[in-house]
Structure 1
């Protein structure tokens, strides 16, 4: 019998952990704050499909939180990075009922970034739960009741449309493609569907005019409205391209952003397509360069 994730919470000490246990929550035994002064654990409760969580998002800035709050997401009011020198990272969840909202049945946290999970139907959330804490990694993975595919994608360089996109069922990839750079916060969004027909089958990233011309000849379409993934920086203009229903290609199930270049080979061996263009090729400074970010997707 299928189980569904219906509530999420976080404990910051033994007292909170004991209380959550008495309330029927189950603990994920991975300390989210390995290098901080507090032990931080994620907890979940299981229940009926009618009450299931369908969206999990994260915020690490006030502007990221505004659209989540306005569109009805529930915030877990405990910083996942408590006790560390990193960013304040908060978890939000939502229970939707539209076709794009497929219930979450399992969640896990990994530190070694287990790429093999993609082949088992898992989705990787792109926000490092230890964001800004200096080389510490923790990522949340979710598994849904049914497979989903990408029906549409957007890129934003401000938060003006966040509420609208959340209410339409889009998922925000919670890491800025301008991380560590001087430009605007730029976020990828995608709209999931349970239908294979009409879904994206391949993606490309252009970092030059030559790239753009080549992708046009190959039948790729440029994502609109046009938003430079490197907006506000001195580096190359970076744009996203896509194809739909290309014969011989399966639809894309999920996308993620990779900042740890040492893991790219492991991801590719696990069947993840990792695009070569660095989405964050400009900005930063010699003593604090911008974080390289690569887009990966799994068909």
Structure 2
């Protein structure tokens, strides 16, 4: 019994030199293990950063299952909304996009007339040749995009989504999403389908402009402006008129307030309040009274969102999302479609 106990506790005693060597070996093993763990964490962070730094570099359209599979194999992501939703067409049209580290897409525009196509082509936008209204009697609509970011005005796009109702997802304005006003079912009187986009950086609207002739479009496109793709003289018989805005990430020179006038009394009032007029009559070529848009750059809250819609109801989701209605019909005094501006700070 005594011998067995001695054997149980007969532990070899290390010499000071051996003991020091063992401690060093264990220390280096722990250090190596910790270093590998740190490298793994660093690698994970780099992977996440790499994913976060990707932008949308390509957009595509499919009208057949074969094309869908082809785009899927190429790494495109499908937005699961049929652009022909609500129509009698049997053609299923999907929009796709691909992320990458290449030259980012910074502007997306639509054309629904030949003149709009010509200006976008001359401004070196990339056209997607597929009609987004394929198989319907609606307007022929094409998507165009511009690539290449500039430090000041062209900010990369990081995400896209589609809505099928004019008032759907209005809360997205609060999260920095931009609504492109062109109805992708234009001319169909069916579901109101609009494209929304999210940029990689927070932006502020720093300039607005309006045009009454298509040759003016090229200059504005080249200067980094974005066209609101809805004719403000729609159905009025007047000149095609479009409103434009330009964004920036810079923290000064932004617009803080917008308004509109439909008579000289309102013109005078806005001028006295420090507003600047966009010197284009939005009723040009119609029997209606002059309609002018005004803006102000004094104040602390920048305008981040601007859109046009036929909705001017005070209880609509746009107002719930914090947008401000300019409650003056931009087609005042004629038989055109009533259109209203909304903006958000």
Instruction: Give the CA deviation at 1:97.
Output: 2.5
Q: How does 1:194-273 map to 2 (within 5 A)?
A: 194-223=249-278, 226-246=279-299, 249-261=300-312, 265-273=316-324
- Find the aligned partners of 1:264 and 1:210 in 2 and give their Cα distance: 28
Aligned to 1:39: 92
Give the match for residue 111 of structure 2.
Answer: 59
1:91 aligned counterpart, secondary structure: strand
What is the CA RMSD across the aligned residues, in angstroms? 1.4
Aligned position for 1:23: 74
Query: Secondary structure in 1 aligned to 2:288?
Result: coil
Q: Greater strand share, 1 or 2?
A: 1
TM-score (norm 1): 0.93
Partner of 2:231: helix, strand, or coil?
coil
**Structure having the larger proportion of residues in helix:** 2
CA contact (8 A) 1:126 1:174 kept: yes
Instruction: Within 5 Å, give how 1:67-146 maps onto structure 2.
Output: 67-98=119-150, 99-112=152-165, 113-146=168-201
When residues 36 and 167 of structure 1 are mapped into structure 2, their CA distance, relative to the original with a 3 A threshold, is farther
Counterpart contact for 1:36–1:82, Cα < 8 Å: no
Q: Structure 2: which 5+ residue stretches go unaligned?
A: 1-48
Q: d(CA) in 1 for partners of 2:162 and 2:251? A: 28
Q: Deviations over 1:44-79 (max 9, x none)?
A: 00111x421111000000111112111111001001
Segments of 4+ moved more than 4 angstroms: 261-264
Where relative contact order (Cα < 8 A, 6+ residues apart) is larger, the structure is 1
Contact kept? 2:61, 2:96, Cα under 8 Å: yes
Alpha-carbon separation, structure 2, partners of 1:32 and 1:263: 29
Deviation at 1:209, TM superposition (A): 1.2
- Separation of aligned partners in 1, 2:324 and 2:64: 40
Aligned to 1:287: none
CA contact (8 A) 2:104 2:149 kept: no
Partners in 1 of 2:58 and 2:260 — Cα distance?
37
Structure 1 36/72 Cα, relative in aligned 2: closer, same or farther at 3 Å? Answer: farther
Determine if contact 2:182/2:230 at 8 Å carries over to the other structure.
yes
Measured at CA, do residues 262 and 39 of structure 1 come closer, stay the same or move farther in structure 2, by a change above 3 Å?
farther
Q: Which residue of 1 aligns with 2:328?
A: 277
CA distance in 2 between counterparts of 1:261 and 1:189 reads 20
Match of 2:338 in 1: 292
* Count, aligned residues: 289
2:3 alignment counterpart: none
Q: Is the contact made by 1:245 and 1:251 (CA closer than 8 Å) also made in structure 2?
A: no
Contact in 1 for aligned 2:155/2:201 (Cα 8 Å): yes
Using the size of structure 2 for normalisation, the TM-score is 0.81
Q: Which runs of 5+ in 1 are unaligned?
A: 285-289
**SS at 1:54's partner residue?**
strand
CA distance in 2, matches of 1:282, 1:23: 51
Question: In the alignment, which residue of structure 2 is the partner of 1:159?
Answer: 214
